[in-house]
Amino acid sequence: MTNSNTSDSPPPDLKRQRDEFLQNFTQGARLTEEFVREYDRVNARVRELEAENGLLRARIEEEDVLREMLQKITALEQEKRDLLSRFEKAEAASSAFSERFEEVENEFANLANLFVASNQLHSTLTPRRVVRRIKEVMAQLVGAERYAVYMRSPERTELVPIAWEGVEAGVLGPVASDDERFRDVTASGKAQVPEGAPTQGSVEQPAAVLPLTVDEESVGAIAIFSTLPQKTRFETIDFELFKLLGQHAAAALVSASLFEQAGRKLPGLEAFVDLSV
């Protein structure tokens, strides 16, 4: 009779095969588990790399955008410099134009003053009115406050005051032709303007002395003793007025005096015959 326990146990070969199978199965499971874990690690790493690639692509795109922005900024800066340069040139041209326009305006104003002065001097043939016109020019255009007009005596030895302003009559009187205040002026026919403020001149030391000439011959002088307080110096237009007064005032005075001596009668036609020869 056979023992049941003995019959229920597997033969040694089967047990060994079973153990080997179970061992192999368990090892395969472990390998499978390791494979699955490795797959998960690789998959996670792939996702990390994809994320990093995404960040890199975004960063590259940002750098491209930034590079474009920098290029635009550089272009705008250059355009700004160009515009500023053009603006500066335009501003300089505008400033030069304004200065030139102001110069032209001053020149026109000076020409107008000269025209008015010349017209005033020759607008009458009465000696008294000519003197009045000279006074108007001296006060309004030259800015003289104290002055006197002298005419040379027939003997050419004295200069006699015929009109004055701002000084008492007793202060003035005939002066010798070789008086140091007038000698060089009447000899050269050129105005003398000493250095210093014209407001500080005096009868003894005039601020300016102007010759009165007719056909380049000296017939008198105008002495400006001092100017108005606001006239602190003589300008270019003043020297032009000095020349005008020197020639036109003398001619107007002589013409008016001769016309007065002729009984205010115009000369006959015979005085104008053959003038074109």
76-128 residue pLDDT tens: 888 888 888 888 888 888 777 777 767 667 666 666 777 777 777 777 788 88
Question: What separation, in Å, do the N-terminal and C-terminal C-alpha atoms of the chain show?
Answer: 188
* End position of a domain, from candidates 99, 121, 143: 121
| CATH at 257 | 3.30.450.40
Residue 66 belongs to some domain of the structure:
yes
Q: How far apart are CA 248 and CA 213, in angstroms?
A: 8
Residue 236 belongs to some domain of the structure:
yes
Phi, psi of 45 (to 5 degrees): -65, -40
* End position of a domain, from candidates 68, 103, 121: 121
In the chain, how many domains are there? 2
Residue 10 belongs to some domain of the structure:
no
Q: Are residues 30 and 57 in the same domain?
A: yes
Q: Are residues 132 and 252 in the same domain?
A: yes
Q: What is the pLDDT of residue 274?
A: 66
Residue 268 belongs to some domain of the structure:
no
The predicted model gives 35-51 an average pLDDT of 80
3-class state of residue 172 by DSSP? coil
Residue 244 belongs to some domain of the structure:
yes
Tokens matching residue 130:
């000519």
Q: How far apart are CA 171 and CA 167, in angstroms?
A: 7
Q: Are residues 130 and 234 in the same domain?
A: yes
Residue 273 belongs to some domain of the structure:
no
Rounded mean pLDDT of the chain? 82
Q: How far apart are CA 166 and CA 140, in angstroms?
A: 14
Q: How far apart are CA 260 and CA 262, in angstroms?
A: 5
Residue 254 belongs to some domain of the structure:
yes
> What digits encode the pLDDT tens for the residues 203-237?
999 999 999 998 888 899 999 999 999 999 998 88
Supply the range of the domain harboring residue 233.
126-261
Nearest of 186, 205, 203, 189 to residue 243 by alpha carbon: 189
Q: Are residues 158 and 96 in the same domain?
A: no
Q: Are residues 106 and 164 in the same domain?
A: no
Q: Are residues 133 and 115 in the same domain?
A: no
Residue 206 belongs to some domain of the structure:
yes
For residue 147, count CB atoms less than 10 angstroms from its CB and return exposed for 0-12, middle for 13-18, buried for 19 or more.
buried
Angle at 143 between CA 142 and CA 149, to 5 degrees: 65
Beta-bridged to residue 218, according to DSSP, are 213
* Count of helix runs (H) and strand runs (E) in the chain: 6, 5
Check: pTM over 0.85? Answer yes or no.
no
* End position of a domain, from candidates 121, 156, 178: 121
